[in-house]
Structures are given as C-alpha cells and as structure tokens.
Structure 1
Amino acid sequence: WLPIDAKFPNEDYERLLEAQGRADPVQAELCAKALEARIRLEAKSIAEKYLEPPHTTDFAVMFLPTEGLYAEVLRRPGLMESLQRDHRVTLAGPTNLMAMLNALQMGFRTLALEKRSSEVWQVLGAVKTEFGKFGDVLDKVRNQTQTVLNTLDQAQTRSNVMNRALRQVDALPEAQAQALLPGSEP
C-alpha cells in the first residue's frame, strides 16, 4: 500500500498571507515558521500512523490541496529534504500528484516484472536440472534399446545359421509335423 494523506493547514497559511499582505516581515517570518512546524508535525504524524513496511511502502505522500500552500512549503529552505530524510514523507500538490502517482505506478510495475523475471529464471533453472536427468534417462533407454537390437541381431544370425543347416533336410508333410510338434498351428 502507498500511504497518502491530505493535510489542510489553511489557517497557518492564511495567517502567513495576511502578514505578507500587511508587509509585516517579522510577523510573516513567525507565521512561516509556524507553517513549517505544522508541516513537520503532520509529516511525523503520517509516518507514525501509516508507515508499516512491508505492508506499506517505506515512504508516504503528504498532499497539500492548493498550489499556493504547496509552493510556500517548497519555498522553505531544506524543508522538503528534511521531511523525506527524517520522516520518509514526500510532498505533492494538485499539479504534480498525478505525475508522481503515474511514475510510482510504473516503478511498481517494473519491480513486479523484475520479481516475476526472477521467478522465471528459477523455474528455468529447475527445468534445466530436470532436463539433465531426462537426458540421463534417455541414455539408459538408448542403451537398453541397443542391447535389445543387438540381441535381435544375434537371434537373426542364429536363425539364419539354422535355416542354412535345415535346407538340406527334407520337410515333412504337415500332418506328420503336427504329430511330432504338438501345439503348432497349420
């Protein structure tokens, strides 16, 4: 599972916008730090609630619903890197969420294909082992078949020798032959 949580720190962001609108740099900086602290707190909360590898990915996505809020958070020096490093949380805004999800989906598919590829190689390795055994069995069958053929050749040779020797003997009439060799068929 890929944990995604939407956060709406709109009050902190609106206070920042008001201070910037009043051209109050001191208050604007205080509000910016409060927004940053809130984002860090939300990232920590997401990590604690949702990250449970291997049941989930080892990272989560924090969705910020407005482009202005997303841009302000990105503008804070080192904040995004800190969230990723300390809490394994990646930020997404309205315009880049779909692109991020598509990229992750392609990565997950590639990972699944690599895993299946590994399984295929294992099956092929097992088949190769079995194929070697099959070759050994075929050799045995070939040797046994060759032995049978050799024995048949020897029997044919003996038959030819007997036929040559018997050519000089006169054949008996059928009735007499049956009387001498009971069980022979006409």
Structure 2
Amino acid sequence: MLLIDEINRANLPRVFGELFFSLEYRENAVQLQYDQNGEPFRLAKNLILLGTMNTADRGIAQIDAALRRRFHFFPLYPDRAPIKGLLSRYLHEHGRSDIAEWLPQVLDTANTKLAEHGFRDALIGPSHFMSPGVDEEQVRLTWNYSIIPMLEERYPGDERRLAQFALDRLKGLAATTG
C-alpha cells in the first residue's frame, strides 16, 4: 500500500511521471525515462494507492479530470459513518468520559451550523481532539487557536455569526440537550 497525504496538492503527472499512465492501464508496461537497464516497468497488481484530500482548502478543491479518472473517491464526513461517533468512542476508551459528555455534542452542533450555512466542506473533524491526555484545557486551546481561525475565514467580519461558535456557548447548549 502507498499512502499519499493531501494527494490533490501535488502535480501528480510530475510526481508520478510515466507511472501516472500505469495507474489507469496497469496491464501495460511502461518504459521509465531514467531507467538505466531499459527494462519495462509494470505496477504490481496488488498495489493499493490511498490518497487523502482536504477539500476545505478551497484553493485545491477542484480536482484535475485526469486524477478523477484514475481514482475512486470516498468522502469522510464527521456526521456520517464511519467517522460519526468516533470522537465519543475515542474519549471513552481513553478514560475521558468527562469530556465525552459534551465535546461530541459541541462538534455536532457546530457542524450542523456550518452545513446549514453551506460550508459542508469545512466541517470540524474529530482528529483535532484525538490525542493522548486530551483535557478541557487542550480542547479550549485547540478550539480558540485552530477552529475559531478557520471559522473566521468562513465568516469574515461577521462577529454575530462567529459568536454562535464560542466554545462556552456550544458547551452550554450541549449541557441542556444532553
């Protein structure tokens, strides 16, 4: 297996060179430009190439047609399986039931608001909070210095809208609904 993180950031024809053709036509051997032996190269039939993408980065959201033709796309959203419920399970498994009581609901509420406002590509994933020893202080730091700046890009100058995403406000909503 070959894992390429943020695959859509790369100029894949340049990165893969002649192999880009082989991704689509695996049964065909390719003559590699810099191969000293001159022997044709063929991708292994059992090769799995897994590329991740973050479509929240609007500058790279458009995917080259050649890339789309060669790969299958499987979206992962925090409000759908297999990601839905992951944060809660993680926190419980790591002895953080105190945070698990409210943090997953905070993310669900924030993500619902983002989706309603047309920002489905900017939903907040659980990985922000999946670290060993996560505690409320770390959650606050991550929220204030990672999540809020991302939201400020989505709602430039809209303080009223941004106030809806204040951690304490969302935490209070989680307490009344949970």
TM-score, length-scaled by structure 1: 0.24
Kindly indicate which of the two structures has a greater share of residues assigned to helix.
1
Bigger Rg, structure 1 or 2: 1
